[in-house]
Amino acid sequence: MRLAEQVALITGGASGIGRETAKIFVREGAKVVVVDVNDAAGEETVAELRELGGKAVYVHADVSKAADAENMVRVAEATFGKLTILFNNAGISHIDDDDAVHTEEDVWDLTFAINVRGVYLGCKYGIPALRRAGGGSIINTASFVAILGAATPQLAYTSSKGAVLSMSKELAAIHARENIRVNALCPGPLKTELLMKFLNTEERRQRRLVHIPMGRFGEAAEIANAALFLASSESSFVTGATFLVDGGITCAYTTPL
């Protein structure tokens, strides 16, 4: 098993990429801490992981709150004895996110609170735990828009993911000699509830699809497979990477006039 003896904490673990990653992690031998604000979905995810034969626990946490972030790491260590994989995956894309003129300040602030502060707090409390374990892997969910921007305006989201990308690179450089790897996982457009709520018209969906060489949206499970690689010893010489899993969009993207 590729993650035998590993303990993983996954924020946003109750749905989408997080849930698919939790499932593949337990199949590969990891013990998993599922973190979310949706308690019903979180408990449902943990029940599914246990049905798969895995060891898992659910923790309610708003990742933008320091006390919650500290507690989720505390629970991981108290329950499973250590933390070796930290997947800062929780994020939002607000339906009212738009361009600079039309995006309200509260939308901007909420997006940054979850998408950026949440990753920072996860690392703030998670890195000492990884040190105590002798090292490990941090995976931060960024996005292809951190590289390219987006044709459909979503300025707060795009800016927040740019921040996650730059944060990941700096943390990778700082902690490389501590046996702590930090990588930014950058999905392309996925067929998840998060994106489909934003691309809520056929025109919006086609505007995104036209730029994807593969001609389709990705699946959450495909990103989970990439997270597995970054979590495992197979990526032992990979840190500070912009790990794109995007159907080719970054090699073909052009913004329409």
245 — alpha (psi -120 to 50), left (phi > 0) or beta? beta
Q: What is the pLDDT of residue 199?
A: 77
DSSP per residue, 124-148 = HHHHHHHHHTT-EEEEEE--THHHH
Q: Going by C-beta distance under 8 Å and a sequence separation of 6 or more, which residues neighbour residue 67?
A: none
Q: What is the pLDDT of residue 253?
A: 61
Tally of residues, the chain: 257
What is the strand order of the sheet 242-245 is part of?
56-60, 31-36, 7-11, 85-88, 136-141, 180-187, 242-245
- Segments making up each domain of the chain, as ranges: 7-243
Question: Is the pLDDT reported for residue 32 higher than 80?
Answer: yes
Average pLDDT score, the chain: 94
Question: Is the pLDDT reported for residue 190 higher than 50?
Answer: yes
Question: Is the pLDDT reported for residue 256 higher than 60?
Answer: no
Question: Is the pLDDT reported for residue 81 higher than 80?
Answer: yes
Question: Is 157 considered catalytic here?
Answer: yes
Q: What is the pLDDT of residue 179?
A: 98
Question: Is the pLDDT reported for residue 74 higher than 60?
Answer: yes
DSSP 53: T
Place of tokens 């659910």: 58
Among 58, 120, 125, 157, the active-site one is 157
CA separation for the pair 21, 36 (Å, rounded): 14
DSSP 218: B
CA separation for the pair 80, 211 (Å, rounded): 44
Report, as an integer, the average pLDDT of 167-185: 98
Lowest mean pLDDT among 18-32, 45-59, 198-212: 198-212
pLDDT digits (tens, 9 = 90+) for 129-155: 999 999 999 999 999 999 999 878 999
Question: Is the pLDDT reported for residue 170 higher than 70?
Answer: yes
Question: Is the pLDDT reported for residue 257 higher than 60?
Answer: no
Cβ atoms of 166 and 109 within 8 Å: the answer is no
Torsion sign over Cα 237, 242, 245, 249:
negative
CA separation for the pair 256, 254 (Å, rounded): 6
CATH number of 7-243: 3.40.50.720
- pTM, rounded to two decimals: 0.94
Radius of gyration, CA atoms only, the chain: 17
